[in-house]
């Protein structure tokens, strides 16, 4: 199983990076086309769309991934077609209901957001949300087969179509005004989803054979899983929405002027948060890949399951540490290069937030990993409860800590750490399963990352070079030091990844 997880992780990481790059490049010209006001409206509508999509379809892929993998393990291939039908019915019905509500209330929602120009874009939610559910259903089936290629290709295709048609339609429609331009951008997003669905349907038609056997118990089991999964997944986005309402006012109570308080919040969520999310592409990919693998082992009563989990954790830890520490080490020249107009005071805040944010990123990655393992065992409601408890603690911490002058914006980071820590601890308590990772496997990457960071800091301290040159030299130096220091562990892990996989199974 380790080989399939390694391959699946690599595929999803590559697609994740490509999608992140396309997403970043999409917003740059879109800002020029729509203007500052237009991009603000686009982001407001996008935040509501993202939350609605998570609320209605977030648990679909995870639930299908688990159940399809278990069905494969016991040879019940007829159940897979029933699972797909149930998932599609659920996704379309609930997606349509959510989309219809947003469409009918479009004017009221836009008014409450203070962005009337977003009204017409909400009309497209009638299609966007159910389409998103259909995509989640088909990806979930492939993930249950431990085949991450369709998910990766469809993600890139969706982003590429959105990039081309979103900008084209925004430019064409934007000649009529901001509202039309934003509508054009979301029309491009809709076309991206349609292209994604067409690709997944074709791939499923030519690559997957289903056995037609009805299973009446499928619907109840699927709904029992998908509801808590979707609700649990919506906790963090909901908490982020709460942050957007309270953080600025709390910072003002701490003594900051409104404009600077808003800048600090934007710095933490938009600048620092964006860069620290890159390492989480890795943990998210491993979590997606390991869930069906562990579910398969559970159904097969495979005694090698502990090795699968331990080796996956080793891979994540080995790669995650240099990514997070490396980002922090090069953060100052990186921010200066990417945001040349940013004030020096804000640069200082950004660098400190990045170093502090390492802790949050590492614990969040571990949280994703262990939650995926627990979900693979069917503890959906417990995971949802853990997310809710963590969310309440995070909101409480943010409200109290950001109002303190000594802590200010760093209260948001502490809140993030508290959320991930609480969820992680609760999940580990419930799991009651020892993950045997050697002391050497944990400490050597950590020591190597610290040594790498100190070396990069020394380079930046003694040499005054252009920011881009500093970033490139730091990456080369850091990567060289880390790879040489962790060579013993890397060699062992790669031997495990490329071991022959011995599993007889139908595959897609």
In this structure, the answer to whether residues 330 and 346 fall within a common structural domain is: yes
Write down how long the chain is: 508
In this structure, the answer to whether residues 260 and 196 fall within a common structural domain is: no
In this structure, the answer to whether residues 242 and 177 fall within a common structural domain is: no
User: 413: number of CA atoms within 13 Å, CB side?
Assistant: 23
Give domain status of residue 396, yes or no: yes
Of the candidates 230, 255, 272, which is a domain's last residue? 230
In this structure, the answer to whether residues 141 and 245 fall within a common structural domain is: no
Taking a C-beta distance cutoff of 8 angstroms, is the pair 286, 9 a contact? yes
Structure tokens at 55: 């609320």
Q: Which residues, at least 6 apart from 488, have a Cβ–Cβ distance to it below 8 Å?
A: 444
Give domain status of residue 250, yes or no: yes
Give domain status of residue 506, yes or no: no
| Alpha helices, DSSP H, located in 209-304 | 218-233, 235-253, 258-266, 273-276, 279-300
Q: How far apart are CA 471 and CA 350, in angstroms?
A: 16
How does DSSP assign 5-59, residue by residue?
HHHHHHHHHHHHHHHHHHHHHHHHHHHHHHHHHHHHHHHHHHHHHHHHHHHHHHH
Structure tokens at 147: 């085949």
Taking a C-beta distance cutoff of 8 angstroms, is the pair 390, 418 a contact? yes
In this structure, the answer to whether residues 326 and 466 fall within a common structural domain is: yes
Q: How far apart are CA 141 and CA 19, in angstroms?
A: 21
Taking a C-beta distance cutoff of 8 angstroms, is the pair 387, 236 a contact? yes
User: 99: number of CA atoms within 13 Å, CB side?
Assistant: 21
Closest CA to 128 of 179, 174, 170, 91: 91
In this structure, the answer to whether residues 328 and 215 fall within a common structural domain is: no
DSSP secondary-structure letter at 68?
Answer: H
Give domain status of residue 126, yes or no: yes
Closest CA to 29 of 158, 187, 170: 170
Q: How far apart are CA 412 and CA 254, in angstroms?
A: 14
Give domain status of residue 168, yes or no: yes
Closest CA to 428 of 386, 378, 380: 386
Q: Which residues, at least 6 apart from 465, have a Cβ–Cβ distance to it below 8 Å?
A: 473
pTM of the model: 0.80
In this structure, the answer to whether residues 216 and 245 fall within a common structural domain is: no
Per-residue confidence (pLDDT) for residue 211, from 0 to 100: 59
Per-residue confidence (pLDDT) for residue 507, from 0 to 100: 41
Q: How far apart are CA 249 and CA 79, in angstroms?
A: 52
Give domain status of residue 507, yes or no: no
DSSP secondary-structure letter at 269?
Answer: I
Give domain status of residue 395, yes or no: yes
In this structure, the answer to whether residues 381 and 445 fall within a common structural domain is: yes
Of the candidates 175, 199, 230, which is a domain's last residue? 230
Give domain status of residue 508, yes or no: no
Of the candidates 190, 213, 230, which is a domain's last residue? 230
Per-residue confidence (pLDDT) for residue 426, from 0 to 100: 93
In this structure, the answer to whether residues 197 and 314 fall within a common structural domain is: no
Per-residue confidence (pLDDT) for residue 81, from 0 to 100: 82
Angle between helices 258-266 and 344-376 (to 10 degrees): 50
In this structure, the answer to whether residues 202 and 241 fall within a common structural domain is: no
Local confidence pLDDT in tens for the 508 residues of the chain:
455 666 777 788 888 888 878 877 787 788 778 886 787 778 778 878 888 888 888 788 888 888 888 888 777 777 888 888 888 888 899 889 989 999 998 888 888 767 788 888 889 999 999 999 999 989 988 888 888 889 889 999 999 999 999 999 999 998 888 889 989 999 999 999 999 999 999 998 887 766 555 666 777 777 888 888 888 888 888 887 788 778 888 888 988 888 888 788 878 877 788 788 888 888 888 888 888 877 777 766 665 566 777 778 888 888 899 999 999 999 999 989 887 877 888 889 989 999 999 999 999 999 999 998 888 888 888 989 999 999 999 999 999 999 999 999 899 999 999 999 999 999 988 886 666 677 777 888 999 999 999 999 999 999 888 999 999 999 999 999 999 998 877 776 666 555 544 433 444 4
Q: Which residues, at least 6 apart from 2, have a Cβ–Cβ distance to it below 8 Å?
A: 307, 308, 311, 312, 496, 497, 499, 501
In this structure, the answer to whether residues 223 and 238 fall within a common structural domain is: no
Taking a C-beta distance cutoff of 8 angstroms, is the pair 213, 80 a contact? no
In this structure, the answer to whether residues 261 and 391 fall within a common structural domain is: yes
Three-state secondary-structure class, residue 211: coil
Q: Which residues, at least 6 apart from 158, have a Cβ–Cβ distance to it below 8 Å?
A: 135, 192, 193, 195, 196
Q: Which residues, at least 6 apart from 204, have a Cβ–Cβ distance to it below 8 Å?
A: 138, 141, 142, 150, 508
Q: How far apart are CA 172 and CA 130, in angstroms?
A: 26
Q: How far apart are CA 484 and CA 121, in angstroms?
A: 52
Which residues constitute the domain of residue 285?
234-501
Structure tokens at 432: 């009651």
Into how many domains does the chain fold? Answer: 2
């Amino acid at each position: 199983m380790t080989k399939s997880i390694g391959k699946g992780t690599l595929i999803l990481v590559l697609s994740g990076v490509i999608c992140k790059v396309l997403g970043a490049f999409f917003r740059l010209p879109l800002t020029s086309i729509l203007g500052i006001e237009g991009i603000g409206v686009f982001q407001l509508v996008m935040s509501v769309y993202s939350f609605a999509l998570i609320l209605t379809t977030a648990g679909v892929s995870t639930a299908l991934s688990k159940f399809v993998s278990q069905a494969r393990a016991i040879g019940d291939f007829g159940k897979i077609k029933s699972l797909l039908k149930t998932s599609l019915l659920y996704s379309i019905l609930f997606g349509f209901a959510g989309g219809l509500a947003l469409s009918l209330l479009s004017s009221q929602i836009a008014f409450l957001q203070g962005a009337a120009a977003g009204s017409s874009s909400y009309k497209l939610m009638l299609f966007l949300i159910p389409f998103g559910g259909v995509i989640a259903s088909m990806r979930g089936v492939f993930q249950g087969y431990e085949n991450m290629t369709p998910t990766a290709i469809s993600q890139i295709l969706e982003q590429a179509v959105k990039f081309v048609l979103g900008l084209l339609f925004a430019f064409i429609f934007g000649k009529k005004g901001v509202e039309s331009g934003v509508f054009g951008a979301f029309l491009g997003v809709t076309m991206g989803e349609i292209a994604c669905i067409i690709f997944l349907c074709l791939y499923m038609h030519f690559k997957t054979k289903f056995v037609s056997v009805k299973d009446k118990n499928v619907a109840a089991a699927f709904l029992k899983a998908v509801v808590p999964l979707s609700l649990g997944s919506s906790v963090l986005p909901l908490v982020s929405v709460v942050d957007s309402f309270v953080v600025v006012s709390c910072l003002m109570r701490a003594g900051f002027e409104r404009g600077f308080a808003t800048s600090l919040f934007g710095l933490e969520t938009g600048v620092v948060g964006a860069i620290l999310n890159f390492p989480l592409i890795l943990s998210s990919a491993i979590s997606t890949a390991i869930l069906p693998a562990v579910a398969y082992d559970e159904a097969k009563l495979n005694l090698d399951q502990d090795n699968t989990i331990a080796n996956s954790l080793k891979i994540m830890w080995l790669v995650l540490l240099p990514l997070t520490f490396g980002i922090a080490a090069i953060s100052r020249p990186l921010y200066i290069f990417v945001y040349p107009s940013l004030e020096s005071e804000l640069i200082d805040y950004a660098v400190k937030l990045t170093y502090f944010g390492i802790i949050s990123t590492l614990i969040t990655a571990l949280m994703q990993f262990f939650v995926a393992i627990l979900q693979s065992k069917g503890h959906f409601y417990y995971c949802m409860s853990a997310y809710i408890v963590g969310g309440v603690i995070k909101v409480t911490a943010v409200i109290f800590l950001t109002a303190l002058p000594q802590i200010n914006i760093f209260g948001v980071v502490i809140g993030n750490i508290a959320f991930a820590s609480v969820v992680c601890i609760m999940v580990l308590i419930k799991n009651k399963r020892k993950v045997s990772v050697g002391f050497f496997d944990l400490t050597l990457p950590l020591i190597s990352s610290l040594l790498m960071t100190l070396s990069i800091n020394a380079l930046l301290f003694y040499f005054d070079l252009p920011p881009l040159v500093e970033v490139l030299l730091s990456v080369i130096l850091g990567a060289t030091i880390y790879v040489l220091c962790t060579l013993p562990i890397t060699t062992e892990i790669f031997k495990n990844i490329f071991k022959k996989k011995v599993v007889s199974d139908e595959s897609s």
